[in-house]
Amino acid sequence: MHPKKEVTWEAFQLVDDAKKEVAIKAAMMVNDGDILGLGTGSTAHYFIQKLGDRIKNEEIGIMGIPTSYQSFFLAKDCGIPLTTLDEHLPDLAVDGADEVDPDLNLIKGGGAAHTLEKIVDSAAKKFLVIVDESKKVQKLGDFPVPLEVIPSAYRPVTQQVKKLGGTPSLRMAEMKDGPVITDNNNFVVDVQFKEIQDPQELEIELNNIPGVVENGIFPGIADQVLIGTANGVESVKK
């Protein structure tokens, strides 16, 4: 499992407020007529809800491309018309992240949706990342790198990952017995590295392991990051 930190209710509320603020800021950047990549996770959840509010209150015409069943069902509930990559490429993709470094390299996949997230985010004309300030790091690696792995390849993949200096762990489900199963019916293997010196090189090495569908390193894909802080929203661009 990916690491969890014990937090007080007050600290949780501050982080949640920052997520809401940055999500609202991102939703207000959406233009009438945009095709949007809809990310997955708690911050993206607030973004999708705000988009639904704008459709109802401002009658803007937008369409969304969800990156998971979670974002698919939420978008439907919020009244957002949906489309696919077969029909449209996104003008803007908006998604959260688990870590963001100063060069806007990311680790994503805490929600086990990083394969489709990377496809949609990379296809967009602009990729906007929305996070709270706890996700800012000087160097990637405190958060493990998630791998989506074909089940039959689990053992050879973990052996290869160890050769790269990683410590693999099969992500186990919390509300069911057994491992987490992705929307693509695969396993998630979380790999802890002592340090990630070159995110781009490590992304390539991990994806070259047979049986790995995709990994959670997003090197150089983000165009802009909005960071929710106690003093408002900070914007960082390439």
Rounded to the nearest 5 percent, the helix, strand and coil shares of the chain are 35, 25, 40
Q: How many helices (H) and strands (E) does the chain have?
A: 6, 13
User: Distance between the two ends of the chain, CA-based, in angstroms?
Assistant: 31
| Active-site pick, 59, 87, 99, 117 | 117
Helix axes 42-58, 69-77, angle to 10 degrees: 30
* Class of residue 187 by CB neighbours under 10 A (exposed 0-12, middle 13-18, buried 19+): buried
175 is written with which tokens?
A: 């509300």
In the residue annotation, 117 being an active-site residue is answered as: yes
For the annotated catalytic residues, the residue numbers are 117
